[in-house]
Amino acid sequence: MTRAITTCIALLLLAVLPSVAPAAGQVNSFIYHRFNDFRYPSTNISAEVFQAQLDFLQERNYPVITHGEIARRLEAGEPLPEHGVALSIDDAFVSFAEVAMPILRKSGFPVTLFVNSDAVGSPGYLDWDQLKRLHEEGVEIGNHTATHDYLVELKAGETVAKWRERVRKDILKAQDAFERHLGFRPTVFAYPYGEYIPELIDIVEELGFKAAFAQQSGVIYAGLNRYVLPRFPMGGPYATLDGFKSKLGMKPLIVAEEQPFSPLLGEKNPPELLLKIDGSDVDLRKINCFVQGENSCQAEPVADRKGWFRVVAEQPLAGRRNKFTLTAQDKRGGWHWYSHLWIKAVSPVSVELQAPVAESAAQSQAGPGKTGKAVLTDQ
């Protein structure tokens, strides 16, 4: 999505934000990486903008909860806040402690820090003593693997069985490090680079995590697959106060089924995405579609299939990661958001995009994230 399109969307949403009542049972989660580190603009946010974002949350009395609390409520079937917010930081760079924490302390807001353990103590990263003090202060620590590797890729000569063994060891190595240095094992997980596949979801669930968070944008709500929970990125051109406000105003665009569920791109590029969208609260006649880069996409109704839409891009998707983002408006003027991740992996674990994964976490969870057994006749 170009900066011009992003700006137009933000301005449009800001125009309707004051008149939109908060949606019940949702959390708008945000992901940050670096603070005041302008060497890395794509993952950085200025201290001034971060302070303004938290000030806005305080002024509007948004309930802010941890990602662990999101996981606990979803697992227990308890309702989410009426319109909650969650703040997360990936990678544990030193700027979190030096720049973000003083601002967070003043606000009193909780925060979740996802740590890749092999990097702890390396130049530019927090060390174990700093992490221990932060945890004792109330910062929630989540698992971000040990190596921060591309987990959807096979190494040279690696079988799927060997891949599975390697990934399990990677995640467990981090768990062991947290227990050894901090005295506990995290219950929430964040995928490196936000990349996931059904086979990886299975491993994360089998290892006992209560939820896992990715980086596709969207709103968390009850019924969503808790092993592919979305977060709105706050870095680069998105790291503004206006952009933050517009994402806060979003409600979930509820997708009952998506085909394929796996975000891996196969030989077909541009890919085709089939979605069954719940239209009870939105105008399905006017669905906006956005794709990153100099590209465009559209969502077209599937004939004789109520609620089903085919989403296609005009040109092949660019970059390693891309997204289809859909927005729709409800009768009260509120905007609803959904985003589907696409990954162009070099040596993907699986390219069988349409094949359901038997007895997997992807199928055992309710709501979006199911591979879906229904096959459209005109697919």
pLDDT band of residue 39 (cuts 50, 70, 90) is very high
User: What is the model's pLDDT at position 162?
Assistant: 96
Pick the range with the lowest mean pLDDT from 10-24, 167-181, 205-219, 239-253.
10-24
Domains in the chain with CATH codes? 3-16+23-250 (3.20.20.370), 257-364 (2.60.40.10)
Pick the range with the lowest mean pLDDT from 220-234, 291-305, 344-358.
344-358
The residue-averaged pLDDT of 182-208 equals 98
The residue-averaged pLDDT of 127-156 equals 97
Question: What tens digit of pLDDT does each residue of 217-272 get?
Answer: 999 999 899 999 999 999 999 999 999 999 999 999 999 999 999 999 988 999 99
Query: Does the pLDDT at position 366 exceed 80?
Result: no
C-alpha dist (Å) from residue 231 to 87, 194, 216, 248, 271: 9, 9, 6, 11, 23
More confident residue, 315 or 376: 315
Q: Mean pLDDT in the chain? A: 88
User: What is the model's pLDDT at position 356?
Assistant: 34
The residue-averaged pLDDT of 167-189 equals 98
More confident residue, 123 or 1: 123
pLDDT band of residue 292 (cuts 50, 70, 90) is very high
The residue-averaged pLDDT of 146-174 equals 96
User: What is the model's pLDDT at position 361?
Assistant: 36
pTM: 0.87
Query: Does the pLDDT at position 275 exceed 80?
Result: yes
